[in-house]
Amino acid sequence: MPPRTLHSVVPTRLRLLPHAQCVSRSSVLGRIARRQSTQSKPASTQSHKPEIPIPPPGWIPPRRPPVEASFPKVRVALGVVVIGYAIYVFAFENPQKPVQADSPTLAARDELTKRESGITQNSPMRLRMEQFVKANQKQIVKAIEELDGKQFLVDEWARSTGGGGISCVLQDGNVFEKAGVNVSVVYGKLPRPAIQRMRADHKALDPDVESLDYFAAGLSIVMHPKNPLAPTVHLNYRYFETANEDGSSNAWWFGGGSDLTPCYLFDEDAIQFHKGLKEACEKHDKSYYPRFKKWCDDYFFNTHRGERRGIGGIFFDDLDEGENDQEQLFAFVKDCLGSFLPAYLPIMQRRKDLPYTEQEKEWQQIRRGRYVEFNLVHDRGTSFGLASPNARVESILMSLPLTARWQYMHLPPKGSREERMLDVLRSPREWI
């Protein structure tokens, strides 16, 4: 029988283990070699064998099974022993190189929290904001379905990195040509360049890390009525947070606002809409309404046309601990969102069934074209969404109207209602 070599003793599975999985492979092989050399020493170099005990009277030796060739079984058994020994060495004799398990992602941590304890007042703001926007989505969808008479298509989606969303869209309704009420809850990684850009507004962000986990949750609404005498409305309230490796908050901020875009101006509609927002703002800070109203007029501006998108409302972004504490800002966002239905539903009840002409419908389509221009050229949210990896394009472009029109060199007649509308879009007014 040929002598067994070290190579033949170590099973193929162990020999092919990558270095990362067999840190002490050389030490394992060395120990096996030493054992073999000890076992193969001549009898003269080993201690004498003990005497064989004399069997008791009447003892009958057991029958031995016939000897069979079982080399494969021997190799498997030996392989199990060697691999078991290697695992032992790796686990217990190499404490300086422990196995490093990946830490759970922020999304996994939050899912575990929701399963184990639900969402309470003591939960992280991430989970409370998610619960808040989802509850308001259901409430608003129900109210608009009652107004329109048709139901929304509900499209739920998930992201591989965590989170997902619910897109509720109504098209070709009785009142609305297109209406969308979307919730998104997104988890991901902010790369170093993005962190450095954001530090201009958020000094709490750590500039010395390669990436940070982030969370974003928001509710977005855009509604385009069929009747040109009824106004389009837009709303968005959102929360953004970055997290440390242990899941604790690193930096956070709120953003959002709501604005009205009529094609034909009714002063009472503009006043009612702005009044609701002003009351919500003044519950928290008297400076909020004038400050955020101006921010809205400046933000929703088609610079290439020299026109605002609509008659405004409020807009704010990056509200963090430098503005107020987290609970106060969350309460502010709640009140702003709570003012939406009481302001917009009465306006729609007044306008949705008014008679209109083909000329008025044509003007609505031209104004819809301006709406598209702003969203695709100037809106930061649309640009950010479309530039994100694996962007969900349908949800991002939900804000666009179903139909629009671009008419070459169109100018409204002097003294017309269309011209009055343009004058307000070029020079914003104070409504209250």
| Position 44 confidence tier, pLDDT thresholds 50, 70, 90 | very low
pLDDT of residue 295: 98
- In CATH terms, the superfamily for domain 106-426 is Coproporphyrinogen III oxidase, aerobic (3.40.1500.10)
pLDDT above 70 for 12 = no
Spans of all domains in the chain: 1-7+20-32+75-96, 106-426
pLDDT above 60 for 410 = yes
pLDDT of residue 88: 36
What CA–CA distance (Å, rounded) separates 24 from 97? 10
pLDDT above 70 for 148 = yes
pLDDT above 50 for 20 = no
| Position 224 confidence tier, pLDDT thresholds 50, 70, 90 | very high
pLDDT above 50 for 32 = no
Q: Are 118 and 56 in contact (CB under 8 A)?
A: no
- List, for residues 172-217, the tens digit of each pLDDT value: 999 999 999 999 999 988 877 777 777 767 767 777 677 788 999 9
pLDDT above 50 for 335 = yes
Q: What are the Cα distances from residue 162, in Å, to 110, 214, 249?
A: 10, 11, 17
| Position 58 confidence tier, pLDDT thresholds 50, 70, 90 | low
pLDDT of residue 162: 84
pLDDT of residue 302: 96
Please state which of the ranges 49-53, 67-71, 99-103 shows the lowest mean pLDDT. Answer: 67-71
| Position 98 confidence tier, pLDDT thresholds 50, 70, 90 | very low
pLDDT above 50 for 74 = no
Please state which of the ranges 67-71, 77-81, 422-426 shows the lowest mean pLDDT. Answer: 77-81
- Average the pLDDT over 336-341 and give the result: 98
Q: Name 359's Cβ contacts closer than 8 Å, sequence gap at least 6.
A: none
pLDDT above 60 for 120 = yes
- Average the pLDDT over 62-69 and give the result: 51
What CA–CA distance (Å, rounded) separates 322 from 57? 96
Tell me the torsion sign for CA atoms 130, 133, 139, 144: negative
Backbone angles phi, psi at 189, to 5 degrees: -120, 130
What CA–CA distance (Å, rounded) separates 241 from 40? 67
Q: Identify the residue with better confidence: 209 or 375.
A: 375
pLDDT of residue 220: 97
Q: Name 341's Cβ contacts closer than 8 Å, sequence gap at least 6.
A: 139, 140, 143
Question: Is position 234 annotated as part of the catalytic site?
Answer: yes
Catalytic member of 234, 274, 284, 378: 234
pLDDT averaged over the chain? 82
Please state which of the ranges 145-149, 157-161, 220-224, 416-420 shows the lowest mean pLDDT. Answer: 157-161
Task: Tell me how crowded residue 169 is: count the other CB atoms within 10 A of its CB.
Answer: 16
Task: Name the H helices within 339-405.
Answer: 340-351, 358-377, 380-387, 393-396
pLDDT of residue 179: 98
Backbone conformation region of residue 177, classed left if phi is above 0, alpha if psi is from -120 to 50, else beta? alpha
The two tokens of residue 105 are: 């992602």
Tell me the torsion sign for CA atoms 319, 323, 324, 325: positive
- Average the pLDDT over 150-162 and give the result: 91
pLDDT above 60 for 3 = no
Supply the angle between the helices 125-148 and 326-338 in degrees, to the nearest 10. Answer: 0
Q: Which residue has the tokens 């003990």?
A: 50
What CA–CA distance (Å, rounded) separates 161 from 105? 9
Q: How far apart are the first and last CA of the chain?
A: 104
pLDDT above 50 for 93 = no
